Structure 1
Amino acid sequence: MKINQLSKCAGIGVFFLFANLNAQSSEKVIKNFIQNDVNFRNNSTAEFKILNEDNSVSLKSNIVNVQQYLGNTPIYKSLAKAVIRDGKVISFNNNFQKASNNVISDKIDKTEALSSALRYLDIKDSSFELANDIDGDLVNLPDNKVANVRFYFEKNNSLIPAQLFFINQSKENKFFGILVSLTTGEILENNKMIDECSFDTDHFSSSESFDTTEHLISHFNHNTTAKNESKAFTNASYNVFPFPLEAPTFGSRTLVTNPWDLAASPEGWHSNGNTTYSNTYGNNVLAYVDNNGSNSYGFSPTSTTTGDFTFDFPFAESTTLSAYDNRSSAVTNLFYANNMVHDIFYKFGFTEATRNFQSNNFGKGGGQGDAVRAEAYDGSGYNNANFASGYEILNTVTGNYTVQAPRMQMYLWNYSVSLKQRLFYTDPALATRPPVNTGSANFGRPLMEAGITGDVIIPSVATGCTALPSGSLTGKIAMVNTTGCAYNIKAKTVQDAGAIGMIVHRTNSNTVPNISVSNVTNVSIPSIMIPRDEGNFITDELTAGRTVNVNLKDLAVGYKNSSFDNGVIIHEYGHGISNRLTGQGYSCLQNLEQMGEGWSDFFALMLTNSPNASATTGRGIGTYSTNTVTTGPGIRQYRYTTDMTINPHTYADTNSTGGQPHAVGEIWATMLWDLHWKLAEKYGYNSDVTADPNSGSAKALQLVMDGLKLQPCSPNFVSGRDAILQADQLAGGADNCLIWEVFARRGLGVNASSGTAANIYDQVEDFTTPEACILATEDITKNKNFGIYPNPAKGEFFIKTQPTVGNETIKVQILDLSGKVVKSLERKKNSSDSISTQDLIKGTYLVVITENGKSNAEKLIIE
């Protein structure tokens, strides 16, 4: 054991030495590029530091994320994406600020700036601590802490000093990234750091089963060679809904053994290299119950066996059973699904160097201490799921990381449940009364399994609309009627008088709706509504002088549990992938046209694909959680399919979304789903994306992942499309025209415009493909007077012409498959000189030769 640990330490040291040398080498290459590139003629001394570097196997290049600096201070979202191959910068997309910008001095300190942030966010709780700016040590601090980073912020051609605070307010389940001016205290930017996926029951206007098998998981379960040779992990079995099963409505549970991939999880799923856990904890995920909504570690099932671990717990659902009966099996499935997503996406490039989620990075770079906190039965609400991606912020001076671990919150869903009982009498005689349906409030504390217990009392002001004597309702549950004022005012009134809960008696009907009031932040007690007859019964009991003691709780009878919905789990984890891979890894998916929900849907579809699916098979999202048919759209407007009579989305539809993230994302995911099936048509379909890297399915997922790495901060549909095209070009360019055709079919063609960043109503769609794609077909009619050779070319090619007399001149243009001219020259027609391709990356191009106004084209492959 000691020898093994020493070997690990040596490996870590060697890796960091290599990583440091590699970063120094890339920095030198980039500096040389900036000094010599014409675009930096007025800013050739631009200061920068490397944030992270991905040695991409799929792109055969180093993808380097670069942060612009002024002195030791980074400039906010002033970033570059350098692609380095063979020691040369072949692409440098950036939005660097000009050196001529006026620099403003500080006028307030960061303490005053923090006060401004807290006032803006209406946070009165004083339990915040600042991490040290120098070492950024936040890894082991509780989740209600604040990390802060100093930036310059560009505004009106000036650089304003600013402080970025990450404020995680666990008590109210809020997490913000807020940038405050250090000159005026102005809030320059405020970003919600939690991606919410909640939906109302009337969210959709659309009125819109397929078989699956264990095909995907078989690749992990039956790859036994590495497993039999390694003893670093503890064997483990899980009774779960195995990938690619989407949810319980798509198939049955199966006991799977050692489903991990040792390349991604070298210690298996229950060890972080230092500690082996016998519960649902490990290096990638900590899964547990958080039914009180405290964001603290709760119940986590433990293996039923010693030695080899076994997580085999009962599962049963019906309209008469409580969802809490499945507590152990739900957390087990949540643990399994999160780990599966971690291991699968590791294969596609979401690794330690690209800010993935692990407690221990085993010396492979990046920040660590950020395994996913996966919370089942989350007590902060219903009909929801969310993901806070956290961050890994590198202090480029010290080399230390400030790390915030991600949090996944999975909720219970009560769609289409006819009886929602939340009122329970504690007196055995009253407990025999028939249960009644109740409505719940969208403000205050949601009722969960434990609930609250107290005597019911009717306040001296039965409406609850005017102030009551202080302490008159201490420890009581106040019952008020529906008249007089808004429900939140009633709740605040009885709360101020000491009540621990509120019952609203609907005196005029036995039908009860939910209580909905927007933007209520000053009520913390739970509230329910009960029907007329039940309220009359309680009133009569109290009038007769009898005590009515009740327990207000929600046992989730008949509810669905999103911890069993693999599609929703993958979707949520997908937010972490897209956030961490874009730009500096946080706050880059906040603009109106960002496509975060789209990538998440696409990932969910790709990992839950049926072996017998086809391009026109309609796919929904969250059909199990919403208690709807498997063939429906679930929580989306249309089912995902290439059939435009079923899913007619085009780019122009973004203009009618109002920037609603799910509506925007659905359109992007539709295009990505089309891309998958077009590549599957060309290279072959495989529902197991890990089985064959050459399948069209694997190629599609790899392209999308590489596009995420290449796209800029605050991407839109156009820049997202261009990043995927660039990924293909870097990989050889074999599918550039196919990609163009897919996007153009949905209105994201050559002339599509995303408009202005602050406007979600000015997108322009276009259905044309580049001229190069139209010309670059196999049936090009070649002019016999011209030819190019060798083809494929390595480093150079020649133009072959018919011998002529004279000094005629021809024009030669080389176009990439986006239609961009990458090289242009004029030369004598009879010249025998070669044309160099040394400055072009490998891929497919179009050579256009023009003589006397007439052009002829021929495809050229550069190797």
Structure 2
Amino acid sequence: MKINQLSKSVGIGVFFLFANLNAQSNEKIIRNFINTDVSFKNKSGADFKIQNEDKSGSLNAEIVNIQQYYNNTPIYKSLAKAVIRDGKVLSLNNNFRQIGNNSIIADKIDKTEALSTALRSVDIKDTGFELLDEKNGDLINLPDNQVASIRFYFERNNSLIPAQLFFINQTKENKFYGILVSLTDGEILEKNNMIDECKFEDNHFAGDTDSTSNHLLTHFNTSVTKKNQTKAATDASYNVFPFPVEAPTFGSRAIVTNPWDLTASPEGWHSNGTSNFSNTYGNNVLAYVDNNASNTAGFSPVSTTTGSLTFDFPFEESASLSAYDNRASAVTNLFYANNMIHDIMYKFGFTESTRNFQSNNFGKGGAGNDAVRAEAFDGSGYNNANFASGYEILNGNGSYTTQAPRMQMYLWNYSVPVKKRLFYTDPTLATRPTVNTGAANFGRPLMETGITGDIIIPSVASGCTALTAGSLTGKIAMVNTTGCGYNIKAKTVQDAGAIGMIVHRTTSNSVTDMNVSNVTNVSIPSIMIPKDEGDFITAELTAGRAVNVNLKDLAVGYKNSSFDNGVMIHEYGHGVSNRLTGQGYSCLTNLEQMGEGWSDFFALMLTNTPSYTATTGRGIATYSVNTAPTALGIRSYRYTTDMSANPFTYGDTNTTGGQPHAVGQIWATMLWDLHWKMAEKYGYNYDVTADPNSGSAKTLQLVMDGLKLQPCNPNFVSGRDAILQADQLAGGADNCLIWNVFARRGLGVNASAGTASSITDQVENFDVPEACILATEDIAKNKAFGIYPNPAKGEFFIKTAPTVGNTTVKVEILDLNGKLVKSLERKKNSSDSISTKGLTRGTYLVVITENGKSNAEKLIVE
């Protein structure tokens, strides 16, 4: 593609500078560019500070992220991205605000008042919070009662409004928000849930982003010894489902030894450079059980050997076994998977300087202090998985405000025929047949450790009328199904002192789950039992006999997402896409953002197998939802290049309502198509780390580079253009291939994303650039031979029908005046390239002669 075409494709704000400025710093290079480029002449006050610099090996360039400032205060989401190579600016995309004529609005309320407004907006009580100043830096793993904040200007209607960005984390309710509040009138300017949540009971698959526990990293002192070693890493082995095995239904466990990449993890997986760990903690990941949903470190398996580390624990699943029997093996697999993703993504550019997840960054840039807290058997619910990306924010004074990420992995109870949650403590009653129970989506979910108490029927059996305060203290209230909503019943008995609620379904021996939306005032657990069991308990109580029960959930027959490598890759992928886009936080919040799509794509890429082909149907989370490996999983269609099996096109985004998973699966479909088309050209390799020249590795690299190059709040068009720019910066060899892949699904050259505020005005288009039409037609119309890539950069190849023997063809290249500029002979079956070096940009005629018969094809040289 020509430079002017690239400039058009990646949008306004891409500029090129050809002066050689090798000896200058990137900041000076960029300032000189801004001062001399015509596009900045009307942007007075375009001051900035560099946020991070990524020396990209794949692009042979430095990607520099820039934050615009005014009077030493950053302007919210006013960002620029410079690509610098050999001391010159190749491109500079920016959305810098015009400041010269802006009026600056003065503060009218203080930060404390603004914080109160922010807390009320997310239904968090405005009590006991300590506001931490952004200049303190290193605000890692804040307790619930501390809030980090940063002052910004917010541009609106040609004015700069002072605003405060608050990062509010309340782990007790699993809430983590970034809220921007105006300091002029307290208006909520932006509110982002920083938890990408994946609630599957609604057929959704998101990533949930929550925050941290009390200085969690410094509390991991169990099984720790100070080290002073010269060896790079202590030997370690793990009995896990090794990549690319997606989950237990896809393959068997195996012992893997020292699976780390020492470039990505210089001290291995059990050391942060100053401390050795003999459990599932390390520099990249801290894995443990959090079954009580406290977001603090729980059980973490310890090596069964000394010296070398051995994590070999039993694993067995069946409809009659508790998922808790696999506690040690699950956390081991969770630790292994997170570390594997870290090391693989590191090879493709998710490194310290790009805000990756490590405690110790070994002086390679970034903030550090943000290893992933990976929580198994998470006690805040079922049928879910989430990832809180956290943030690394470089403050104006050079310090960092940092929040470590957290992954929460849940148990899944899909298609489990009997869910037992009612256990009698009396030995005689305990022999009663197991009964199925329903659960509630409000209040505290029941886990392995439950609640114990005597059952009591309240004076108002429906639980719909206020009860005497204290009348149910310490009791488990049993109510019937009549009269009012389940949440109202639960709130009524809770207010009377009950520690739990049983709903007796008096009309049926079948039970249902009790799902009520947006209930925040109930904290006790609730279950439903069938008619006959409730009648039995009622008869016992009527006879004056006490019925003492334990309400808990032993997860018999449940699946554990800590064994689902695909789901864990998906969740970690949220961290990758969030940290690489824009300033690394709150830049994937628009309606058309593709976060779920990148996560699905990463999961597919890292769980490929040698037997997969372009048309193999791939589901997502098939193991966790208790279905066969060939099943659909949790998406509308399986991923495949076969458009009769997956017909998604860009126009389908108009019907998604902005639901992140519905939008994301369309984007992932396009990326999956791109992978297989690149694999067709360069070769397929299920192991993306094995050969950087395979089509599989090249595609993952393009997508990672595209994340770095795209703007804050990208849409499908700007995401596509970032991938095209990544290809251009790497030499442009696959320009037309990329265009054809996206155009096939409606993201062609004239596709439009519409307005950022709408998810119903996208326009699909199936056209490719004119130059790519020439290349496609040349090969399609003559099956004897074709030339590719076309346009060519530096070289092209001849595609011929295969023949037996050593047939020779003559190749001549003529300019448009008919002048012969190059001539050679070659074997017809040769796969060698033909160089275009020395040819000026333009259109040529390639004449190939075989046995006296000639064919001519157009060739564009760039």
Give TM-score, length-normalised by structure 1. 0.86
Within the alignment, does 1:304 sit opposite 2:304 as a pair?
yes
Query: One-letter code of the match for 2:134?
Result: D
Tell me, in whole angstroms, the C-alpha distance in 1 between the residues paired with 2:165 and 2:73: 12
Query: Is the partner of 1:246 in helix, strand or coil?
Result: coil
Query: Is the partner of 1:534 in helix, strand or coil?
Result: helix
Residue in 1 aligned with 2:842? 847
Residue in 1 aligned with 2:406? 407
Contact 1:234/1:309 (<8 A) preserved: yes
Pairwise CA distance, 1:859: 2.0
Pairwise CA distance, 1:197: 1.5
Pairwise CA distance, 1:90: 1.1
Residue in 2 aligned with 1:676? 675
Within the alignment, does 1:774 sit opposite 2:779 as a pair?
no
Tell me, in whole angstroms, the C-alpha distance in 2 between the residues paired with 1:378 and 1:802: 72
Tell me, in whole angstroms, the C-alpha distance in 1 between the residues paired with 2:414 and 2:843: 60
CA distance 1:103–1:437, change in 2 (3 Å) = same
Query: One-letter code of the match for 2:47?
Result: E
Query: Is the partner of 1:249 in helix, strand or coil?
Result: coil
Tell me, in whole angstroms, the C-alpha distance in 1 between the residues paired with 2:402 and 2:818: 68
Tell me, in whole angstroms, the C-alpha distance in 2 between the residues paired with 1:802 and 1:166: 66
Residue in 2 aligned with 1:394? 394
Query: Is the partner of 2:513 in helix, strand or coil?
Result: coil
Contact 1:165/1:177 (<8 A) preserved: yes
Q: Deviations over 1:472-516 (max 9, x none)?
A: 111100000011111111100100010000000000000000001
Query: One-letter code of the match for 1:468?
Result: L
Residue in 2 aligned with 1:439? 438
Tell me, in whole angstroms, the C-alpha distance in 1 between the residues paired with 2:112 and 2:144: 20
Query: One-letter code of the match for 1:458?
Result: I
Residue in 2 aligned with 1:3? none
Contact 1:130/1:147 (<8 A) preserved: yes
Residue in 2 aligned with 1:379? 379
Residue in 1 aligned with 2:158? 157
Residue in 1 aligned with 2:96? 96
Query: One-letter code of the match for 1:200?
Result: E
Q: Deviations over 1:692-723 (max 9, x none)?
A: 00000000000000000000000000000000
Residue in 1 aligned with 2:720? 721
CA distance 1:629–1:201, change in 2 (3 Å) = farther
Pairwise CA distance, 1:843: 14
Tell me, in whole angstroms, the C-alpha distance in 1 between the residues paired with 2:399 and 2:88: 28
**CA RMSD, aligned part only?**
2.4
Tell me, in whole angstroms, the C-alpha distance in 1 between the residues paired with 2:761 and 2:675: 28
Within the alignment, does 1:79 sit opposite 2:79 as a pair?
yes
Tell me, in whole angstroms, the C-alpha distance in 1 between the residues paired with 2:720 and 2:736: 12
Residue in 2 aligned with 1:137? 138
CA distance 1:267–1:844, change in 2 (3 Å) = farther
Pairwise CA distance, 1:792: 4.3
Residue in 1 aligned with 2:177? 176
Residue in 2 aligned with 1:454? 453
Pairwise CA distance, 1:539: 0.5
Tell me, in whole angstroms, the C-alpha distance in 2 between the residues paired with 1:734 and 1:179: 43
Alignment of 1:540-579 (within 5 A): 540-579=539-578
Residue in 1 aligned with 2:366? 366
Within the alignment, does 1:319 sit opposite 2:314 as a pair?
no
Query: One-letter code of the match for 1:360?
Result: N
Residue in 2 aligned with 1:657? 656
Pairwise CA distance, 1:801: 7.7
Contact 2:388/2:407 (<8 A) preserved: yes
Query: One-letter code of the match for 2:842?
Result: V
Pairwise CA distance, 1:858: 4.9
- Please, which runs of 5 or more residues in structure 1 have no aligned partner? 1-20, 205-228, 782-789, 794-798, 805-841, 850-855
Contact 2:116/2:126 (<8 A) preserved: no
Alignment of 1:82-231 (within 5 A): 82-99=82-99, 100-124=101-125, 126-139=127-140, 141-142=142-143, 145-200=146-201, 231=231
Residue in 2 aligned with 1:796? none
Residue in 1 aligned with 2:685? 686
Alignment of 1:822-861 (within 5 A): 847=842, 858-861=859-862
Within the alignment, does 1:598 sit opposite 2:597 as a pair?
yes
CA distance 1:777–1:631, change in 2 (3 Å) = closer
CA distance 1:655–1:117, change in 2 (3 Å) = same
Q: Deviations over 1:240-279 (max 9, x none)?
A: 0000000000111001100000000000000000110000
CA distance 1:725–1:844, change in 2 (3 Å) = farther
Contact 2:129/2:146 (<8 A) preserved: yes
Residue in 2 aligned with 1:15? none
Alignment of 1:231-250 (within 5 A): 231-250=231-250
Within the alignment, does 1:43 sit opposite 2:38 as a pair?
no
Query: One-letter code of the match for 1:618?
Result: G
Tell me, in whole angstroms, the C-alpha distance in 1 between the residues paired with 2:530 and 2:547: 17
Pairwise CA distance, 1:234: 1.1
Tell me, in whole angstroms, the C-alpha distance in 2 between the residues paired with 1:604 and 1:145: 35
Query: Is the partner of 2:768 in helix, strand or coil?
Result: coil
Pairwise CA distance, 1:139: 2.0
Pairwise CA distance, 1:57: 0.4
Tell me, in whole angstroms, the C-alpha distance in 1 between the residues paired with 2:26 and 2:68: 15
Tell me, in whole angstroms, the C-alpha distance in 1 between the residues paired with 2:597 and 2:76: 26
Tell me, in whole angstroms, the C-alpha distance in 1 between the residues paired with 2:127 and 2:180: 19
Query: One-letter code of the match for 1:82?
Result: A
Query: Is the partner of 2:369 in helix, strand or coil?
Result: coil
CA distance 1:843–1:28, change in 2 (3 Å) = farther
Query: One-letter code of the match for 1:579?
Result: N
Tell me, in whole angstroms, the C-alpha distance in 2 between the residues paired with 1:391 and 1:487: 39
Pairwise CA distance, 1:120: 1.1
Pairwise CA distance, 1:102: 1.9
Pairwise CA distance, 1:775: 2.8
Tell me, in whole angstroms, the C-alpha distance in 2 between the residues paired with 1:437 and 1:507: 15
Alignment of 1:783-862 (within 5 A): 792=794, 847=842, 858-861=859-862
Within the alignment, does 1:636 sit opposite 2:635 as a pair?
yes
Pairwise CA distance, 1:175: 0.5
Alignment of 1:499-648 (within 5 A): 499-648=498-647
Query: One-letter code of the match for 1:374?
Result: A
Paired residues, number: 762
Task: Name whichever of 574-583 and 133-142 sits farther off.
Answer: 133-142
Query: Is the partner of 1:523 in helix, strand or coil?
Result: coil
Pairwise CA distance, 1:633: 1.3
Query: Is the partner of 1:134 in helix, strand or coil?
Result: helix
Query: One-letter code of the match for 1:135?
Result: N
Within the alignment, does 1:251 sit opposite 2:251 as a pair?
yes
Moved segments of 4+, more than 4 Å: 21-24, 201-204, 776-781, 790-793, 799-804, 842-846
CA distance 1:578–1:325, change in 2 (3 Å) = same
Pairwise CA distance, 1:203: 6.7
Identity %: 79
Q: Deviations over 1:374-426 (max 9, x none)?
A: 00000000000000000000013x21111100000000000000000000000
Query: Is the partner of 2:527 in helix, strand or coil?
Result: strand
Residue in 2 aligned with 1:826? none
Tell me, in whole angstroms, the C-alpha distance in 2 between the residues paired with 1:375 and 1:755: 40
Tell me, in whole angstroms, the C-alpha distance in 2 between the residues paired with 1:289 and 1:657: 36
Task: Name whichever of 129-138 and 83-92 sits farther off.
Answer: 129-138
Tell me, in whole angstroms, the C-alpha distance in 2 between the residues paired with 1:432 and 1:128: 50
Give TM-score, length-normalised by structure 2. 0.86
Q: Deviations over 1:740-795 (max 9, x none)?
A: 000000000011111111111111100010112113569499xxxxxxxx9849xx
